[in-house]
């Protein structure tokens, strides 16, 4: 496990360094464009930097949320001794996600397995369900004469954390897609502006040279040159 944690640690360090370098380059490009062109590039740079910061911050934030949820999930077990509010929420999740318990499955409920843990007819005799033995004194069962019933085999906490990972992955991917599109658009716009500026400078220099060639001095127009006969000395 220590090698796994070390690998994750260095992976986060490398990713953060790369994103930091990319963010620094984008900031430098934005500052250059602010002085050379207009405020549009400055606004685009600010948007890119904000979204990039949000995407980078979302990675450690998701890990913190997952850690806190895991601690909370473990603190509410066993569910048969939890408050009514917690058991109500747990039953809702079990009904929606087709799961049972928090981490230990039906055992988190002790001897009182709720109806939301019972497998529906569509999932019975499938890997999603497992057969458990119950005592007759458990009044949470469907029929008191049954000694065995099928309950959902998957606990709810891993399913909730898996969905949470998907949500964070979607948000992170969307943020970095926006950053990539904005950065590409900004670079293409800057390249186009550079080409237009270079072309305008070339056209301006060419037109100024042509005007200098065709320009006639004013004194020549006012006093045109005529042929003057110079007397010869004898």
pLDDT in tens, the chain (234 residues): 334 344 445 555 555 555 566 666 665 655 555 555 556 666 666 777 777 777 777 777 778 888 888 888 888 888 888 888 889 989 999 999 999 989 988 888 887 888 899 988 888 888 888 888 775 544 444 444 457 788 898 999 999 999 888 888 888 888 778 777 777 777 777 777 677 777 766 666 655 555 555 554 544 444 454 544 545 554
Same domain, 43 and 149: no
Asked whether residue 144 falls in the same domain as residue 183, the answer is no
What's residue 202's pLDDT? 64
Q: Are 184 and 49 in contact (CB under 8 A)?
A: no
Domain end residue (candidates: 125, 158, 191):
158
pLDDT at 231: 53
Is the pTM above the cut of 0.85? Answer: no
Residues 55 and 112 reside in one and the same domain? no
Question: Quick check: 82 and 101 in contact, CB under 8 A?
Answer: no
Q: Tell whether 205 is covered by a domain.
A: no
| Shared domain check, 116 and 59 | no
Instruction: Tell whether 232 is covered by a domain.
Output: no
Residue 119 lies in a domain: yes
Q: Is residue 217 part of a domain?
A: no
Domain that holds residue 133: 84-158
Instruction: For residue 220, tell me if it sits in a domain.
Output: no
Number of structural domains in the chain: 2
Any domain includes 184: yes
Domain identity same for 112 and 152? yes
Check whether residue 92 and residue 63 sit in a common domain: no
234 vs 224: CA distance, rounded Å: 31
CA–CA separation, 36 and 187 (whole Å):
14
Which is nearest to 115 in space by CA: 77, 87, 85, 83? 87
Residues 129 and 92 in one domain: yes
State whether 35 and 93 are in the same domain: no
| Residue 216 counted as domain residue | no
- Do 6 and 63 have their domain in common? yes
């Amino acid at each position: 496990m220590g090698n796994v944690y070390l690998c994750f640690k260095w992976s986060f360090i490398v990713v953060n360094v790369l994103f930091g370098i990319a963010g620094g380059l984008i900031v430098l490009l934005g500052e250059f464009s602010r002085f050379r062109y207009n405020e549009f590039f400055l606004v685009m740079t600010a948007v890119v930097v904000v979204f990039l910061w949000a995407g980078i911050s979302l990675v450690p934030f998701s890990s913190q949320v997952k850690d806190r949820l895991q601690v909370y999930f473990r603190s509410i077990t066993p569910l048969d001794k939890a408050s009514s509010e917690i058991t109500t929420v747990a039953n809702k999740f079990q009904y929606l996600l087709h799961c049972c318990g928090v981490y230990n499955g039906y055992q988190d409920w002790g001897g009182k397995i709720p109806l939301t843990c019972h497998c529906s007819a569509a999932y019975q005799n499938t890997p999603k369900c497992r057969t458990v033995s119950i005592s007759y004194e458990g009044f949470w069962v469907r029929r008191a004469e049954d000694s065995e019933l099928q309950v959902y085999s998957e606990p709810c906490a891993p399913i909730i954390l898996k969905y949470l990972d998907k949500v964070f992955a979607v948000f992170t991917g969307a943020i970095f897609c926006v950053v990539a599109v904005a950065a590409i658009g900004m670079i293409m716009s800057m390249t186009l502006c550079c080409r237009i500026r270079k072309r305008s400078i070339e056209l301006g220099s060419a037109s100024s040279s042509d005007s200098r060639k065709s320009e006639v001095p004013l004194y020549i127009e006012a006093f045109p040159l005529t042929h003057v006969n110079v007397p010869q000395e004898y």
